[in-house]
Structures are given as structure tokens and as C-alpha cells.
Amino acid sequence: MGTAPAVTPERTSIRNRATPPVRVGAALRNRLRVRGATVLCAAGALIVIQLGIRVWVTANGYFYWDDLILAGRAGTLPLLSGDLLLHDHDGHFMPLAFAVSWLVTAIAPLDWGATAAVLLIGQLAASLAVLRMLLVLLGRRRTLLVPLAFYLFCPLTLPAFAWWSAALNALPLQIALAWVVADAVLLDRTGRRRYAISGVLVTTVGLLFFEKAVVVPFVAFAVVLLRRYVDGRRPAVREVLRRGVGLWGGSAAVLGLWTVFYLAAVGISSGEGGSGDLAHMLPRAAWAGVVTALLGGPWGWERWVPSAPWAVAPGWAVWAAWLLLAAGILLTIRARRVVWPVWVAAVVYLPAVQIPVVLMRAGPNTVDELMMSLRYLADAAVVLTAAGALILRAFARPRTATGIAGDRAPRCAGAWWRGPVPATLVVAVFVLSSLWSTWTFAHSWSEGPTKTYVTTVKSEFAHWDGSPLLAQEVPWNVLNPTAYPENEAGRVLSSIAPPGAFAAATDHLRMITDTGEFTDARVWWNRGIRPGPDPDCGYRIGGDRSVRVLLDGPMIAHEWTAQLNYFADRDAALTVGLERGDRAEVPVRAGLNTVYARVTGSGSALIVRNRTPGSVVCLGTGPVGVASYS
């Protein structure tokens, strides 16, 4: 019997099968899509955590200083008013900031809950703008989470966020910086005009919130050039100008027009600062402020109410921060020489944008702690985040032995510090360090009498009996007398006071205590009204003429309270004032009564005039002096 030849089936290895290129590309895209979605989810989680922390910070805060000035102006001026929108606020030109403050005050007057909600919305917008910038610079890579975590938790943005009036400047500036940087890069990459339009519009809005937004187009231009450089391409300034002509030209036009309005509203002021102030204020801000913040510092804050908290870092921690920063610069430049211009740009930006602040703010009455408050450095967090993204972008590209992007070179044994595990540990330590700085700041920021004062005043106004209060200043530790006349209670509390709550005269003299309670007051006998010439009437106030009511001594220029004891034959209206000063409108009631009038000026006599034809008022003796309560 014959034997059939054995047939051995061919063994086909899966490894040897040719996979269609389409399937490989689809698998790769799916993998990248999943990885990108994971990165976005992680970024979203970080933003949510940051918002949770900021909610806690706002819960420990309240209105402070300029917040009360803005609320007072919102309560006394209409929205569409040049006096409101074009006001020179300590050299600031910020019409949109005034508008937002007015709207919030109109909707919820001196309501910290509503104000905190607006703060959180602004912070969310800034965080999303920074995320967009990082996506443009780095793509959906895991490395994106490193600079994002830096921005979200870095204490540099904390003081400006917690202070409402400062946040009205700082948050729009951060949004504008991040948004326009992304637009500029996308415009250089794609040439699409929509990015030029978007960038110009956002720059314009930023300028209307804060004059410091003049730096926005310059920062964006620098980032575009540096991105080209770290990618191994020639910076090509002319090409960048040509491709972004819509953005750069539009920004230049906006800056020119804005300058005209700024000079008209604010003018040119050189300030009182000089080279001496620069010599000691800038190094202090850099020494214990910026450098320690790069590591999550300053870890400690001090405060003397009513001042804002300022950074206080331990000496050893400052030295350690400087050493770690120097090591980081050397290591990154050694590994990727193309990043050195990024470091130079960051180092130049930080002092450059602080010099105008020092020159405008410094003076004989300015303390060094001004720059240590860090509220003028919030924009630096966005710039440093962009710089970090550019450095990471350089490391994401292969390198040659010369350090320039190009063909891949063998991975050196000393590159262990560039792996994901060290990066995760560094970010974790930074976040924990920043959380400690945040906790100490919130504890310091929570100190102050303003919340008790405003809350109690609101309660008193809810049970107000209709008798007006005379003008008085709020407590010095709520709003300092250097802010006069913005520190007058009638202005500060205008948004919560019922109509007629403050007047030039009252028949029931009361004052607001330092804790916000209404209490009876009296007038000191700094000077007194002499007995009048008419033994039956004292000073007869009637007819169409002014009567000189003599005092028993001269009074210097100041705000005084005159206690007018009178008898009127009918209801009438008087004008009362010192010889040199303003006149107050004083209503009087028929019969024997007392009215208290606030007079401002100086002189040795009161000038009183009856404005009601046919009526007669007899005025007796009484004190003229300072109103006080026991």
C-alpha cells in the first residue's frame, strides 16, 4: 500500500503578518485620543481642586480697603458716568473694572457671597485660558500638567485673587496674557485671521480692566519667537511680524488709542519713587517673593491691620530656593541649550514690569512691604507658566549631540531626572508647599474688623427709625483717613444705606461705633454760641438776610458739629456755616427743639440765614465742637 506524502502545514507567525498601514494609523490615533482625553480629564480635575481651594480662601476673606472705595463710588455715581468710568484711581485707568464693581454692587450691595462668586468665575476663566495656552504650546501631553499645576497652585496669584479690587485688575490681565499668547502662536502656525481678531479684542478688554495689559502683545510676540527657537527654527522676526501683522498692527492701533484716553484721564505722573527705592524694593520682592514662590513659598505671612499681608520666608528657605533655581537653570540649559533665551526672557520680564510700580507707588510714606505683598506679581505666574511650557517643549523634541533639536541622540545616563516619576514627585511637593502657603495666607487675611463693622451696620439700617446720621469717618482700621473723603461713612455705606440715612443735619444725634452699632452722641464744648442780643429771642433769624452768630473763640478749619437750640414759629429751612467754609441746609420744626448741623470750615462765628419767607427762628446758646459717643 502506498503512503501519501506528509503535508506539513505552513506555520504563519502573527509577528510576520503585514498589518495594513490604515489599521496602524487608526490604532495610533485611537491611542493618542485616549491619552489626550486622559490628560484633559486630569487637567480638569486640577482646576476643580484649585477652585475648591479658592472657595475656602474666599470664605476666609472679606472686603478690604479699595473694595470699600469702589463700593462707595458705585453707590453714589451712575454707571454711565465719566466720573465713575474715567476716574483716576491712584494712577489706574480701569473703566471696565469700575463697571463690573458697579454692577455687582447694584445687584448685591456689599454682599461678600456674590462678590466671591464673581471672583471664582474670573479665576475659572483664567485657569481655562492658561489651559488653552498650554494645549497650544505642548499639545495633549502629560507634561502639560506640570506647568498647569504651577499656575493653579502657585501663591503668586493668591493675594491679588483674594482682594476684590486687585482681582478686578489681575484676573483679566491673566486671562488676556494666556489667551493672546495662544492666539499669537496659532496665528503664526496657521495664518488664520480669526486669531488676530480674537487677540486684538482680548487685548482691548484687558487694557480697559488694567493698564498693565500693555505688556500683553509684547509677551505674545516673545513667546512666538521663543517657540520657534526651541523648535530648532530660526526666530525670523520679520516673518513673525509678517504672519501676525493683523495681531501686531491691531494691537499697536489699540495701544495708541488707549494711550490717548489714559493720558486724558490720568495724565503723566512720575511718582515719588527713585533709584534708591528700586535698589532695595525690587531685590526684596525677588529675594523672598518670586524665588520662593517658584517652590510654593513664601510659607509665612505677616500683617499689621489695616495693611495687607506680606510674604515672610525663612532665611534658610530663601537660600535653598535660590540654590534649587540655579540648579534647575543649569541642568535644563546643559540638557537643552536652546532654552537659555527662555530663562533670559523670564528673568528680564520680572523686574521690568515691576519698575513702573515702584516708581509710581514708592515715596516717603511707602513701606518696603508693598512689593512683598505679591499682588503686583500675579501676571508673572502666567509668564512663568508659558516659560515652563517652552522649556518642556524643548525636552519633548529629540536632540543631537550639540543640543539642537534634530536627530535623536542616545539617552544619557544622567537624564533620570527627566522621567515621569521625578516630575510627579516634584509637582506633589510643590503643591503641598503651595497649600501650606495658602493656608497661612488665608489665616492672615481673615484678620480684620471690616466684616463685623459692615454686618452690624446692615443690621442697624434694617431697624432704622428714620432720623438721619451726620457725616463721620469709618474706623481707621476699616479704611484709613489717608483715603479721605472716600472713607466717610456716607460714601462707604451708600450702597446699603436707605435714602436719607445721612444728612447735613439731624434732630437725633447718633454715631456709628467702631463695631458698626448706632449709639447716642453728644457735642463737645470746643466752642460755644454766645448769648444773642435779644433777651427774649437770642439771635432772631428771619427776613432775607444772614445773621452773624458769635462764638466764644475761633475755630480752625475742620468738620464740626453745631448744636442749635431754637424756637421756630413754623417749619422752616436754614443755611448754617462758619465764616469760611461750606453752608449746610438745616430743616427746623415748629416749636422748641434742637437740631444738630455738620459745618465744615473755620472762623469765629456761624453765619445763619432763614430761607423760609415770613418765618422767624430764635436761636439760643449751645456747643460747637466734635461729636462723640461714650
pLDDT digits (tens, 9 = 90+) for 446-473: 988 999 999 999 999 999 999 999 999 9
Residue 12 falls inside a structural domain: no
Question: For cell 463700593, what's the residue?
Answer: 71
pLDDT of residue 314: 85
Residue 17 falls inside a structural domain: no
- Tell me the residue range of the domain where 559 lies: 527-628
Residues 487 and 555 in one domain: no
Q: How big is the chain, counted in residues?
A: 630
Residue 234 has pLDDT above 80, yes or no: no
pLDDT of residue 5: 43
The answer to whether the Cα torsion of 25, 26, 28, 29 is positive or negative is positive
Residues 473 and 441 in one domain: no
One-letter amino acid of 521: A
pLDDT of residue 423: 78
pLDDT of residue 23: 58
Q: How far is CA 476 from CA 307, 317, 337, 397, in A?
A: 11, 36, 55, 58
Residues 83 and 219 in one domain: yes
Residue 26 falls inside a structural domain: no
Alpha helices (H) along 397-449: 420-445
Residues 72 and 177 in one domain: yes
Q: Among 478, 493, 520, where does a domain finish?
A: 520
Residue 234 falls inside a structural domain: yes
Answer whether 156's CB lies under 8 Å from 381's CB.
yes
Answer whether 596's CB lies under 8 Å from 559's CB.
no
* SS3 label, residue 363: coil
Residue 16 has pLDDT above 90, yes or no: no
Residue 6 falls inside a structural domain: no
Residue 174 falls inside a structural domain: yes
pLDDT of residue 408: 41
How wide is the angle at C-alpha 80 spanned by C-alphas 84 and 450, nearest 5°?
A: 40
Q: Considering the chain, what is the average pLDDT of its residues? A: 88
37 — pLDDT class (breaks 50, 70, 90): confident
Say how many CA atoms lie within 13 Å of 97 toward its Cβ: 28
Indicate the pTM of the whole model: 0.89
- Cell, residue 313: 520666608
We report the CATH number of the domain holding residue 532 as 2.60.120.260
**How many angstroms separate the CA atoms of 199 and 184, rounded?**
7
* SS3 label, residue 469: strand
What does the pLDDT average to over 372-393?
A: 93
**How many angstroms separate the CA atoms of 220 and 180, rounded?**
6
pLDDT of residue 401: 39
403 — pLDDT class (breaks 50, 70, 90): very low
What does the pLDDT average to over 566-580?
A: 96
**315, burial (CB in 10 Å: exposed 0-12, middle 13-18, buried 19+):** exposed
Residue 47 has pLDDT above 90, yes or no: yes
DSSP annotation of 233 reads: S
Residue scoring higher pLDDT (351 or 151)? 151
Residues 327 and 355 in one domain: yes
Answer whether 133's CB lies under 8 Å from 199's CB.
no
Residue 5 falls inside a structural domain: no
* SS3 label, residue 603: strand
Q: Among 430, 445, 460, where does a domain finish?
A: 445
Question: For cell 506640570, what's the residue?
Answer: 146
Lowest mean per-residue pLDDT among 9-13, 140-144, 258-262, 566-570:
9-13
**How many angstroms separate the CA atoms of 588 and 619, rounded?**
11
DSSP annotation of 462 reads: H
Residues 542 and 561 in one domain: yes
How wide is the angle at C-alpha 217 spanned by C-alphas 215 and 223, nearest 5°?
A: 100
Dihedral pair phi/psi, residue 269, rounded to 5°? -135, 125
366 — pLDDT class (breaks 50, 70, 90): low
**How many angstroms separate the CA atoms of 413 and 503, rounded?**
79
Contacts of 104 by beta carbon, 8 Å cutoff, 6+ apart: 114, 115, 118
Q: How many domains does the chain have?
A: 3
What does the pLDDT average to over 203-226?
A: 97
* SS3 label, residue 522: strand
Q: Which helix (H) or strand (E) holds 154?
A: none
Q: Among 406, 424, 445, where does a domain finish?
A: 445
- Cell, residue 543: 427776613
279 — pLDDT class (breaks 50, 70, 90): low
How wide is the angle at C-alpha 195 spanned by C-alphas 190 and 198, nearest 5°?
A: 175
**How many angstroms separate the CA atoms of 594 and 568, rounded?**
10
* SS3 label, residue 158: helix
Residues 585 and 609 in one domain: yes
**How many angstroms separate the CA atoms of 620 and 178, rounded?**
69
**307, burial (CB in 10 Å: exposed 0-12, middle 13-18, buried 19+):** middle
pLDDT of residue 28: 52
Q: Which helix (H) or strand (E) holds 607?
A: strand 591-610
pLDDT of residue 410: 41
Residues 393 and 454 in one domain: no
Residues 594 and 466 in one domain: no
Contacts of 208 by beta carbon, 8 Å cutoff, 6+ apart: 94, 95, 96, 97
Residues 296 and 426 in one domain: yes
What does the pLDDT average to over 20-43?
A: 69
What does the pLDDT average to over 200-208?
A: 98
Residues 55 and 162 in one domain: yes
CB atoms near residue 582 (< 10 Å): 14
Residues 55 and 185 in one domain: yes
Residue 9 falls inside a structural domain: no
